[in-house]
């Protein structure tokens, strides 16, 4: 795929700066398996889905991962924590990988102050402004973030929201993401109740979203882009619900591209198939990491429909959406969205994209 295929014209005013209220009042573009595109609102989702459909949410929560610290000289340094990198040899101090700016004059072994207390020790420089950072002074990095951090909003959001909760899903439960799984931001507790009443089930998987998800692709050939790796966890109960849904003829609907990455990874390693049951082991949790890069030509094994936002040009998430819905089909939908005044990116509107049953390769034979 050529990088130019991920380009589209987008006026600046189409970039949403804040979510609509209530959340489920945003617009929803519906691309059915057959028939014309429909334009509705997100709260109508129960009427677009079927009884026995299964929504697969990413239940990761966003950490307030942007922390301001100071050197002993008083110079300000910004930390953007990306993901946990383990613990010290003593097992007491927590280590994280962080993007630290400015990095030029920082030194390994230096300890920086947060609220005038020594809290963050620089342990190893990884290049490109990234450091392994260790908590010191008897606190944890997560505690430091929760006490002093700010949400790491995308750079196209110009004002920090008064209500921090607008950048969290209502069902998020596992802190660990550096960015929100934004397709889920449109759900409300009331809408989840209506979906349940309509016979639509839901289940959570956990994939901690890194900032690399939103980095632009710079390579001329999309497949040459070095894709990021992200951690995931899925319970045995969730796996069984997904298997049961497929065996009974229900559809698996991924809420967001992060959920797609988990489902397609699990399908490829055999975890989602009936044959994979013997590999589950005794643990209640299946966990791992994935660097799956989904581009046009990918054979989808586990997803029947995709609920997603309108993405940035030249992004891996747009490539994934085109892989699922078809390059020209999604390109036409984006042109239509611009012409009809849809709102784009994290706080913007949504799409529900169906895929023909015969286009989904994974089948549970049970």
Residue that finishes a domain, picked among 148, 172, 196: 148
The rounded distance, in Å, linking the Cα atoms of 253 and 55 is 5
Q: Is residue 132 situated within a structural domain? A: yes
Burial per residue of 2-28, b for 16 or more beta-carbon CB atoms within 10 angstroms, e otherwise: ebebbebebeeebbbeebbeebbebbb
Q: Is residue 168 situated within a structural domain? A: yes
Range of the domain at 135: 66-148
CATH code of 17's domain: 3.40.1780.10
Determine which of 31-35, 83-87, 103-107, 136-140 has the lowest per-residue pLDDT on average.
83-87
CATH code of 85's domain: 2.40.10.240
The rounded distance, in Å, linking the Cα atoms of 227 and 94 is 26
- Both 243 and 294 in one domain: the answer is yes
Average pLDDT over residues 7-35: 96
CA 108 to the chain's CA centroid: 32
Q: Is residue 228 situated within a structural domain? A: yes
pLDDT of residue 359: 46
- Both 295 and 355 in one domain: the answer is yes
Number of domains present in the structure of the chain: 2
- For the chain, give the percent of residues with pLDDT over 70: 92
Q: Which residues, other chains included, contact 173 with Cβ-Cβ below 8 Å and sequence gap of 6+?
A: 59, 61, 204
Determine which of 19-23, 78-82, 211-215, 249-253 has the lowest per-residue pLDDT on average.
211-215
Q: Which residues, other chains included, contact 30 with Cβ-Cβ below 8 Å and sequence gap of 6+?
A: 37, 38, 39, 40, 48, 351, 352
Q: Is residue 50 situated within a structural domain? A: yes
Q: Is residue 224 situated within a structural domain? A: yes
Region of 52 (left: φ > 0; alpha: ψ -120 to 50; beta: rest) is left
Tell me the two tokens of residue 82. Answer: 């990306």
CA 61 to the chain's CA centroid: 10
Query: How do residues 101-146 score in pLDDT, each as one tens digit?
Result: 999 899 999 999 999 999 999 999 999 899 999 999 888 999 999 9
Residue that finishes a domain, picked among 123, 148, 173: 148
Look at residue 110 and give its three-state secondary structure. coil
> What's the pTM value of the predicted model, to 2 decimals?
0.90
- Both 175 and 293 in one domain: the answer is yes
- Both 321 and 215 in one domain: the answer is yes
Q: Is residue 365 situated within a structural domain? A: no
Query: Please, which pLDDT band fits residue 261 given cuts at 50, 70 and 90?
Result: very high
Q: Is residue 271 situated within a structural domain? A: yes
């Amino acid at each position: 795929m050529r990088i130019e295929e991920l380009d589209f014209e987008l006026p600046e005013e189409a970039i949403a700066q804040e979510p609509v209220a209530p959340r489920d009042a945003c617009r929803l573009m519906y691309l059915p398996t057959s028939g014309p595109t429909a334009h509705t609102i997100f709260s109508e989702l129960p009427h677009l889905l079927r009884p026995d459909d299964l929504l697969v949410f990413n239940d990761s929560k966003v950490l307030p991962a942007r922390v301001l610290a100071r050197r002993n000289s008083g110079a300000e340094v910004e930390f953007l924590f990306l993901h946990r990198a383990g613990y010290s040899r003593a097992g007491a101090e927590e280590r994280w990988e962080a993007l630290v700016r400015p990095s030029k004059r920082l030194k390994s072994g230096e300890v920086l102050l947060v609220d005038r207390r020594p809290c963050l020790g620089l342990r190893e420089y990884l290049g490109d402004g990234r450091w392994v950072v260790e908590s010191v002074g008897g606190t944890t990095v997560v505690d430091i973030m929760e006490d002093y951090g700010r949400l790491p909003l995308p750079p196209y959001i110009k004002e920090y929201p008064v209500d921090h909760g607008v950048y969290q899903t209502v069902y998020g439960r596992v802190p660990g993401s550096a960015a929100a799984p934004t397709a889920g931001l449109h759900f409300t507790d009331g809408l989840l109740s209506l979906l349940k009443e309509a016979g639509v089930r839901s289940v959570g998987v956990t994939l901690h979203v890194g900032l690399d998800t939103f980095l632009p692709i710079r390579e001329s050939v999309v497949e040459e882009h070095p894709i990021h790796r992200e951690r995931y966890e899925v319970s045995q109960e969730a796996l069984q619900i997904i298997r049961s849904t497929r065996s009974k003829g229900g559809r698996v609907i991924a809420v967001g591209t992060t959920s797609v990455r988990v489902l397609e990874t699990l399908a490829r390693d055999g975890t989602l198939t009936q044959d994979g049951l013997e590999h589950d082991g005794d643990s209640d949790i299946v966990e791992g990491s994935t660097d799956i890069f989904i581009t046009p030509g990918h054979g989808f094994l586990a997803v029947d429909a995709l609920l997603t936002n309108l993405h940035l040009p030249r992004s891996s998430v747009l490539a994934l959406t085109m892989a699922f819905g078809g390059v020209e089909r999604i390109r036409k939908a984006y042109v239509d969205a611009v012409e009809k005044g849809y709102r784009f990116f994290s706080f913007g509107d949504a799409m529900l994209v169906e895929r023909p049953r015969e286009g989904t390769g994974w089948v549970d034979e049970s």
